Every structure is written in C-alpha cells, then in structure tokens.
Amino acid sequence: MSIDPLIFFDLIAAVFLLSLAITAIAISYARAVKKFNSYQKEADLLLTQIHKKESDLLEDARIKAGKIIEEANVKAQDILNSTNNLNNDSKKTLEDALEKLVKHQAGYFEKVSEDFLKTYQQELASLKEKNIEILRNVSKNIEEDTTNEVKDFDSVLEKETIASQKIVEEKIEQEYTKIQKDTEEYRSQMIKKVDEQIYKIIEEVSKQVLGKGLSLQEHEDLVIDALSKAKKEGIAKYEK
Amino acid sequence: MKNDSLIYSDILKSLKTVEETEEFSSKIDVLLNSLFKTQAKPLEELLKKLLDLKTSGIIKQAMSVKNINSSDHAAIETLLNDIKKEIQKLRVLKLYLAFDPTTEIIDNIFEWVLKNIGNGIILDIEKDESIIGGAIIVFEGRYKDLTIRKRFEELNLFSAKLMDNLK
C-alpha cells in the first residue's frame, strides 16, 4: 500500500505546525513561570519588609507603652505618698479630737453613771421593799388559800371516802342478797325437782300396786261411786 | 195398747252396750234383706237362722204387741225400720275403766244408769289401765274425770303447795 504524497506532506506539515505550536506554548509557559517566580520573589521581599515594619512598629509601641506605664506608676506613687501624708495628718488630728472627746465623755458618763447608779440603787431598794411586802402578802394569801384548800380537800375526801365506802358496802350488800337469792332459788328448784321425783316414784309405785291390788268388785264399786259423784255434779239428770 | 215408744223401749232395754246395739242393728238389716227375696222363707225360719234366741224373742214380742202376722212382711218391714229409728235415738254414755268388766258388771252398771239417769242410754266402755281405778265419764258433751289417777295428781299438787308453804 502506498500513501499519497500529498497527504503525507500534509501530515508532515501538520506535525510540523503542531510542534511549532507546542514549542511556542512551551516557551511562553517558561516565560510565564519565570515571571511568576520573579513576582513571587518580589512578593516575598515585600512581605518580609512588611513583617519587619510591623515588628518595628510593635516594638516602638511596646517601648512607648512601657514608658507611659512607668510614668503613670511614678505619678501614682507620688499621689499615694501624698495621700499617706494627708492620712497621717488627718489621723493625728482625728486621734487628738477623739481623745478629747473621749475624755470629756468619760467624765460625763462617769457622772451620769454615778447618778444613775444612785437612782437605781434607791429604786432597787424601794422595789425590794415593795416586793418583800407583796411576797409577804402573797405568802399569807397562799397560806390561807392552801389551808382552806386543804380543809376543803379533807372534807371532800372524807365525804367521798365515806360515800365510796357506802357505795361499796351497798354493792356488797346487793351482791350478797343476789347471791343469797340465787342460792335460795337454786335450792328451791333442787328441792322441787327432788320432790317431783319422789312424788313420781310414789305415784308410779302406788299405781302399779293399787292397780294390780284392786279386785273386780272393788273396781265395780269405784265405778258406781264415780257415776254417783258425776250425777251429783250434774253430768246428767234423771229422765224417765 | 201400749204406746209405741214404750214397746220399743222395752225392746231396747235388752241393748246395753254399743257393740250389742251395732250387732243387733246389723242383724235387723240382714233380716230386712231376707224378707223380700224371691223365695223368701217363712219368718219363723228366718228368725231362727239369722238371729239369736234373745233377738228373735224381742222381735216376736214386738210383733205380738203390735198384732203383726208373720206372713205380713210389709208390716214386719215397717216394724223393723221403726226399731232401727229408735236405735238411732239411743244416747251413748262413754266410760273409761281401768279393767275389763264382766257381763255381770256391765249389767250392774247398766242397771244403775237405767235407775238413776233413765232409759234410752247405752254404754260405750273402753279400757285404760293408767286411770288405776274409778272412771272417766263422758255423756252428752260433758266430761268428768273421777279416777284414782286424778286423785293422785291432786294429791301431788297439794303436797307441792304444802312444801312450798313450809319452805
């Protein structure tokens, strides 16, 4: 098989063009990269400079702040010192005043206390007297009341005791009477039972003895007697 | 001529107890039944065959008193029915006795009743040994306990009351 030379040339041309394009692209890419790198270097440099400036600024700020603080401390110390001095003076003045006041007041209180004490002692004595009097009266009243209460209690106790004794006696009496009555009733019942039994026995024996012991004639006579008695008692009247 | 009631009472005097009366009554019934049978026998023969001597005698006596011919069965029938009616009129005296009375004792009691209470009464006698002696008498709705047993009971009561009073 053979390839058309035209096509072959076309192919060669296409490849050639392509390679040219690729070369161009490669070259531009290289340049771009180079540029980028340079830019990058510049950026880094700038960044470094910025960082440096920042740190310088910070350092300056720190130094300044430190100074300001130091100055403020010094001033504060001065103020404090002056305040302390003022406090000490005031303190001393106050102390003196207080001392004076205390002395004055102490004297006054001492006097007042003495008066108060005297008055209090007088009042106390008077109160004591009154209380003693009251106590005496109260004691007397209590004594009287207690005596009366005891007397009343005695009489009530006596009455109650007597009453209770009476009640108990009555109760005992009642119980005794009841028991007596029950015993008597029981005794009567038993006697009655015994009597009934005896009568029954006598009756039965008599019946048996009599019944068998009567002759026919005696029986007949008893019947005629009964008829006569019945007639007398009105069981029948004579009718012709 | 004797009054009919008197005739019958004479006849009925021979009936002393309830048993005798019932027996007599049933014999009368037999005689009545036999009188009008197709081949009825003469009365004499019937009386001899069906009734005892005593009862026959009573019937004959009644016929004689009423002048009834033995061949006049209708009249005889009337007589017999009248006798039965009279029997119905008899009154019963009930006696509870402690023993079995003999015929003689029954006759004696009947005689006493006839003499002291009247005729037209028959005795109904029943035995009850528990009464010991004496009698319980029941007549025309009235009741009397006149027994030894009753006397014992009264004695018991009296004794019991006495004991109560003594206590």
Considering only CB atoms, which chain B residues are within 8 Å of A220?
101, 105, 108-109
Place of tokens 């004499």: B44
A210 inside 8 A of chain B by CB: yes
What is the pLDDT at residue A138? 78
Other Cβ atoms closer than 10 A to B114 = 14
Contact A224 B118 (CB under 8 A): no
Tell me: pLDDT of B2 over 50: no
Tell me: pLDDT of B148 over 80: yes
Question: φ and ψ at B128, to 5 degrees?
Answer: -150, 100
Contact A195 B105 (CB under 8 A): no
What is the pLDDT at residue B39? 60
Q: How far is residue B2's CA from residue A127's CA, in Å, rounded to a whole number?
A: 149
Contact B116 A228 (CB under 8 A): yes
Place of tokens 């109760």: A171
Contact A199 B156 (CB under 8 A): yes
Taking one residue from A and the other from B, the number of pairs with CB-CB distance under 8 angstroms is: 104
Q: Which has the higher per-residue pLDDT, A88 or B128? A: B128
pLDDT in tens, A218-233: 999 999 999 999 999 8
- The full 3-state SS of chain A, as one line of letters, equals CCCCHHHHHHHHHHHHHHHHHHHHHHHHHHHHHHHHHHHHHHHHHHHHHHHHHHHHHHHHHHHHHHHHHHHHHHHHHHHHHHHHHHHHHHHHHHHHHHHHHHHHHHHHHHHHHHHHHHHHHHHHHHHHHHHHHHHHHHHHHHHHHHHHHHHHHHHHHHHHHHHHHHHHHHHHHHHHHHHHHHHHHHHHHHHHHHHHHHHHHHHHHHHHHHHHHCCHHHHHHHHHHHHHHHHHCCCCCCEC
Q: Which has the higher per-residue pLDDT, A213 or B98? A: B98
CA dihedral sign of residues A211, A212, A213, A218: positive
A183 inside 8 A of chain B by CB: no
Q: Which of A198, A200, A204, A222 to mutate to test the interface with B (most CBs of B within 10 A)?
A: A222
Q: How far is residue A81's CA from residue A75's CA, in Å, rounded to a whole number?
A: 10
Q: Which has the higher per-residue pLDDT, B123 or B3? A: B123
What is the pLDDT at residue B135? 96
Q: Would the pTM count as exceeding 0.90?
A: no
pLDDT in tens, A72-94: 889 888 877 876 776 788 778 88
CA dihedral sign of residues B48, B49, B50, B52: positive
CA distances in angstroms from B70 to B31, B37, B75, B77, listed in the order given:
13, 15, 9, 11
Q: How far is residue B119's CA from residue B90's CA, in Å, rounded to a whole number?
A: 9
**Range from A8-12, A43-47, B3-7 carrying the lowest mean pLDDT:** B3-7
Q: Which has the higher per-residue pLDDT, B39 or B157? A: B157
What is the pLDDT at residue A6? 84
A186 inside 8 A of chain B by CB: no
pLDDT tier at B6, thresholds 50, 70, 90: low
Residue B146: closest CA among B91, B95, B93, B92: B95
pLDDT in tens, A55-67: 888 888 889 888 9
| CA angle, residues B24, B27, B29, in degrees to nearest 5 | 115
Contact A226 B139 (CB under 8 A): no
- Non-local (6+) Cβ contacts of B70 within 8 A are B42, B43, B44, B63, B76
Contact B140 A236 (CB under 8 A): yes
**Range from A110-114, A154-158, B93-97 carrying the lowest mean pLDDT:** A110-114
ipTM over 0.90 threshold: no
What is the pLDDT at residue B3? 58
What is the pLDDT at residue A174? 92
Structure tokens at B3: 């009054």
Average pLDDT, chain B: 85
Contact B118 A240 (CB under 8 A): yes
Contact B133 A235 (CB under 8 A): no
B102 inside 8 A of chain A by CB: yes
What is the pLDDT at residue B1? 43
Stretch A137-152: mean pLDDT, rounded? 83
pLDDT in tens, B14-72: 889 999 999 989 988 988 888 777 566 777 888 888 777 877 887 888 888 888 888 88
